[in-house]
Amino acid sequence: MKALVIVDVQNDFIPGGALAVQEGNTIVPLINELQSKFEFIVATQDWHPADHGSFAANHEGKQVGEFVNLNGVQQILWPVHCVQGTAGAAFHPALETKLWKAIFQKGTNSLVDSYSGFFDNNRQGDTGLAFYLKEAGISELFVCGLATDYCVKFTVLDGLAEGFKVHLIADATRAVNLQVNDFDLALEEMKAAGATIVETKELRSL
């Protein structure tokens, strides 16, 4: 059985947001179209406490883009984003949500970041997504959302590690692109790990 996994299509990752992904808003119509092709849909949501250790503002003298050691992991520092209960953490208002089975929140522990929808970056905290999908009889995942080179990529990699067949819907994602070719490098890394790269047009016949 197939599932669509929608990763972090939240206001802070949309142009105008605190951690804006260029053209992040352009994937919303594609994702809405895709939802009609799936009977099982879940979403992930970045849901940080205000004191989260990945925020540069919480490290005196540090700037966005610098690195710190956060609970044993080299952590890049981000602007304050997706703080629990804020408008920035809400899903894009044009994103259809009525067909979703569940929402899995991540990044809730201030001591460790969580890019993947499955585990935190230490792989010590489990969101329950893998168990939920397996209990529902899901074996194949189609992943879309934001951002290709971070939360989407790590969700895909962990999905593969958990034994799912995983497809990345490439045109229904956008990348942060801290380096100009990060999108392409992320696609190559996911392919090398066993993911299939597809486009929305290939799914219209599902």
pLDDT tens for each residue of 168-183? 999 999 999 999 999 9
Q: How many CB atoms lie within 10 A of CB 142?
A: 24
The verdict on residue 143 lying in a domain is: yes
8 among known catalytic residues? yes
Summary count for the chain: helices (H), strands (E): 5, 8
Point out the catalytic residue in the list 8, 46, 113, 120: 8
For the chain, percent of residues with pLDDT exceeding 90 = 94
pLDDT tens for each residue of 1-46? 999 999 999 999 999 999 999 999 999 999 999 999 999 999 999 9
Q: How many CB atoms lie within 10 A of CB 191?
A: 13
Alpha-carbon 192 to chain mean position:
19
User: Total structural domains in the chain?
Assistant: 1
What is the structure's pLDDT at 204? Answer: 82
**Structure tokens that stand for 132 in this block:** 């939920």
158 among known catalytic residues? no
The verdict on residue 71 lying in a domain is: no
Point out the catalytic residue in the list 82, 113, 149, 151: 151
* CATH number for 121: 3.40.50.850
- Report pTM: 0.97
